[in-house]
Amino acid sequence: MKLHAPAEWWQLSREEQLAMSNGCGPHAIEPLIPDSIFGLSIEEACRIHDFMYRPDQDFPKWTADIMFLGNLIDIIEAKGGWLKLLRLHVALTYYKLVREFGRGRRKN
């Protein structure tokens, strides 16, 4: 499954993508915020979100945050299973945290 991301993200090599993002959570507290929800990896959605928050990118914060939520939902929907509702609940919590505390571009 291919997630939603700006065209610039897909033009980067995998090594460049890894260098430009750290996964879920701010770098300082990254170990405290899992890159998975009940065993389902959401790391790629977090990396895309990090990329969109970079100062050298010109994406409004709300755009990055909504794309993040959409990617989380897509990952969870693709997996399905009996943990789906719990994972969606946690995904909504991740989204609320980035809406409240994320440091993307607040203008636009």
The parent domain of residue 61 ranges over 9-101
How far is residue 49's CA from residue 2's CA, in Å, rounded to a whole number? 15
Print the SS3 string covering 19-38.
HCCCCCCCHHHHHHCCCEEC
The pLDDT tens digits of the residues spanning 84-101 come to 999 999 999 999 999 998
Assigned domain for 1 exists: no
* Residue 72: both structure tokens together: 């989380």
Assigned domain for 107 exists: no
The predicted model scores a pTM of 0.91
Give the number of domains in the chain. Answer: 1
Pairing of strands 40-41, 36-37: antiparallel
Find the angle CA(39)-CA(40)-CA(46) to the nearest 5 degrees.
Answer: 120
Render each residue's pLDDT in the chain as its tens digit; 108 residues. 899 999 999 999 999 999 988 888 877 676 788 999 999 999 999 999 999 999 999 999 999 999 999 999 999 999 999 999 999 999 999 999 999 988 766 554
Q: What is the CATH number of the domain that holds 76?
A: 1.20.90.10
